[in-house]
Amino acid sequence: MKNKFGSVYFSIFGLIVLGLGIAELIIGVAARSFTWSILEISGEFLLWKGIILFFAGFFYLSSVKNLTEIHQLAKNVMASVMLWTIAGMQIFAIITESIPGGEEGWINTWEGFLSAYSPPYIPALILLPFSLVTIYYVYAREK
């Protein structure tokens, strides 16, 4: 049952990750940007991020058959690690940009600090919470 849920979940999730990876690649090659609601596809290293998301999606999809088998789960974990690398570096970049004060002073104002964390966000950041399901499967296997 657990296996079936995971397979369905990561099939859908993998397709979304793969799709967003392709979108980042296309927009990166065309040197354009795209914003929709809280989602934004633009910024530095867009091609790199697109390639990584594309392969992460591919790894998720290739891991769905017999997900709890150790080699399949390893692919799933690495797909999540790739996603976490992009999202983690984005969070780190937001934090480092939110603290310095720019022209006005050494430290940012409270409003300036908070506005750095406001949307829109890159795809990997939006996908991040949904990828945490992997952790459940890792712990479930260890138990």
Partner 1 sequence: MLDVEQRWELIDKIAKRTIKFGKYRHTLKDAIAEITVKPLTGIPIAIAVLYGFWAFFVAFAGFFTDGFLVKLFDMHWLPWLQEVFPAGKESWLYYIFVGDPLAENCFEAFGMLTSGLFVAIGVVLPAIVAFYLVLIVLEDSGYLPRLAVLIDTVLHKIGLHGYAIVPSILSLGCNVPACTACRILETKKQRFIMRTILAIFIPCGAQLGIMLKVIPETVGWVILYLLIGYFILGFILSRIVPGESPELLLDIPSYQRPTFSNVGRKLWVRTSSFFTTAIPFVLLGVIIINVLYLTGVIDWLAAGLGPLLSGWFGVPKETVGALIVAFLRKDLAVAQLSAIEMTKYQMVTSVVLVSIYFPCIATFIMLLKEGGAKGFLGSLAALVATVFLYGGLLHLIWILLGVA
Q: Which residues pair with 11 in a beta bridge?
A: none
Q: How many residues does the chain have?
A: 143
User: What is the rounded distance in angstroms from the CA atom of residue 58 to the CA atom of residue 15?
Assistant: 8
From 2, 32, 65, 141, residue interacting with partner 1 (rule: CB under 8 A) = 141
User: What is the rounded distance in angstroms from the CA atom of residue 37 to the CA atom of residue 21?
Assistant: 18
Q: 71 is written with which tokens?
A: 């080699």
- What's the chain's Rg over C-alpha atoms? 17
Kindly tell me which of 1 and 70 has the beta carbon lying closer to partner 1. 70
Residue type, 84: W
Kindly tell me which of 36 and 110 has the beta carbon lying closer to partner 1. 110
From 33, 35, 96, 109, residue interacting with partner 1 (rule: CB under 8 A) = 96
Rule CB under 8 A: say whether 18 interacts with partner 1.
Answer: no
Residue 55 CA: distances (Å) to CA of 25, 50, 62, 103: 12, 9, 10, 41
Site track 33-72 with partner 1 (rule: CB under 8 A), x = hit: -----------xx--xx-xx--xx-xx----------xx-
Among candidate residues 24, 31, 30, the one with its CA nearest the CA of residue 53 = 24
CB of 98 to partner 1, least distance (A): 10
Site track 70-89 with partner 1 (rule: CB under 8 A), x = hit: xx-xxx-xx--xx--xx-xx
Q: Which residues contact partner 1 by CB under 8 A?
A: 44-45, 48-49, 51-52, 55-56, 58-59, 70-71, 73-75, 77-78, 81-82, 85-86, 88-89, 92-93, 96-97, 99-100, 106, 138, 141-142
